[in-house]
Structure 1
């Protein structure tokens, strides 16, 4: 965590290129890292869809961004896209709504995530953190993938998929079979202990492992078919958001006071992955990789680099989605 004690060299004001004409989606963009990601991308010329569950929070975020940058007002550069990742039908409907409105998609930032929380199954029968952090984003991404591919064929295009993971994938993410829905729904604790703080964070860590495995397998498949989309997973840093503070035990909150970075700084690695000219110039170096603040490559640990496990996760996710939506993933 040495990067937490050094001044960031990345400066979005200086380092984000002109994004005029680009179309972007940021999930969970109403607060925290997602908010600052959407803010910076819009400031640099992109049309940004804030894919969020709650309309009031999305519109409040849009109003705040427009207030800080008055030139954005009245230009339809910030748009709310209804998205509830705990529902696979909502994820599909959100993608369908976007596809009806836009003819290109340059950057997809899968930022939204459920932090450590009680064990709950969604209406789809999927553990809520797994649905929000992985399966919902899988449905959303796969539905948008044809447009991302189409965008790569346009002049000057540089389509990217950015997946916000966490270093917790290694610290706490231990469940690693991913062979069935039962594995996805693993409580990771004996009955009666599934809602203690350590177990809740363990389940969160497992979903962050899923994020990385998904990104690697997605990039492998894109490469196999010759697509020029670049997929990158990342750890944003130890970020002092309200959500992290509220869901953490006392000892984690104490550590956060010592080592945390601001939500804006937490968006830096996402912005680097989404827009950096260095990524475009050295695509072979960055594609399918895992970044840490601020835009540094880091070698993966443990099962996160297991290509066979990544394929297993993908296949099981397809089966789970088909079981809910009643049709194969397209």
Structure 2
């Protein structure tokens, strides 16, 4: 295990309770998160854009666990977060398929890649990492609320990662801000800070505002923002091209000092399933957690700003409605 993080006290094999009868959605088709939810009895929808990615994940999980083959617990849900209209349609499709939703893990995300606009005119990193998930969650929220009032329902978790940089979030122009001079939008620093980091700040603020709204409505739902930890996985080609070819020892070193993919999934699983979250709900509502389920204070004052959080969500709603109306 990497030396950046303490020894985990949470073990998915041991600590996930029986999830039989529960229904979960994992965006991005994260193999280890999906695998452990299904192994403990949940029906899991792998929500992602690429059918082949979902099918490969399902096949790999079923090959490793023959008891899951033909169990009906692993289902692909087509989801294109870069299109707000198609994102809403994906959520609406789910609503026709299920009458409950216990766990929503918003795991998908666009890593530091090039500055491009979507068909809705939104910076793609913002569309995928924030606005798309906002629309997806908002459309599913009535069913989450309905499920939360069923017997033996403890928690619905809204999982995000950490981040970011600061902007006003008062308009679509703010969302699309490249934070760079013309022609400099795709430097590595801009990709990391302006395109990726800003969306992580959005995730934290959105989680806090979602929890405030849920509390205001008296809903027993827990929204949690999380950082999965630095875990090794292949870099997208667009990132690898930006930094050039890595010296051959570097990938080996990274594997020694970062988490494994399963360890990287453990904090999401903790947020979604740990009995501790349900028992100590007041400590986890709207919280930001790091491996392995440690509630962590936010050091940036902007990430703790409730006014900025409300502004972000109001602007997101306006951007969302404008995009939907534009396609009618």
TM-score (norm. length: structure 1): 0.92
Give the alignment of 1:152-167 within 5 angstroms: 152-166=148-162
Give the counterpart of 1:270 among 268, 271, 278: 268
Give the counterpart of 1:228 among 220, 237, 240: 220
- Give the Cα–Cα distance (whole angstroms) in 2 for the partners of residues 185 and 5 of structure 1: 34
Task: Give 5+ residue unaligned stretches, structure 2.
Answer: none
- Give the Cα–Cα distance (whole angstroms) in 2 for the partners of residues 276 and 13 of structure 1: 12
Query: Which secondary structure state, in structure 2, belongs to the residue aligned with residue 242 of structure 1?
Result: coil
1:309 aligns with 2:308: yes
Q: What residue in structure 2 maps to residue 296 of structure 1?
A: 294
Query: Which secondary structure state, in structure 2, belongs to the residue aligned with residue 163 of structure 1?
Result: coil
Give the aligned CA root-mean-square deviation in angstroms. 1.8
Give the counterpart of 1:242 among 202, 221, 234: 234
Q: What residue in structure 1 maps to residue 18 of structure 2?
A: 18
- Give the Cα–Cα distance (whole angstroms) in 1 for the partners of residues 90 and 79 of structure 2: 6
Task: Give 5+ residue unaligned stretches, structure 1.
Answer: none
Give the counterpart of 1:175 among 166, 169, 182: 166
C-alpha displacement of 1:245: 8.4
C-alpha displacement of 1:241: 1.5
Aligned length: 317
Query: Which secondary structure state, in structure 2, belongs to the residue aligned with residue 322 of structure 1?
Result: helix
C-alpha displacement of 1:8: 2.2
1:285 aligns with 2:276: no
C-alpha displacement of 1:207: 0.2
C-alpha displacement of 1:80: 0.2
Q: What residue in structure 1 maps to residue 73 of structure 2?
A: 77
Q: Which moved more, 1:250-259 or 1:143-152?
A: 250-259
C-alpha displacement of 1:132: 0.2
C-alpha displacement of 1:28: 0.1
Whether the aligned pair in 1 keeps the contact of 2:155 and 2:278 (CA below 8 Å) is no
Query: Structure 1's 111 and 321: CA in aligned 2 closer, same or farther, altered over 3 A?
Result: same
- Give the Cα–Cα distance (whole angstroms) in 1 for the partners of residues 3 and 282 of structure 2: 25
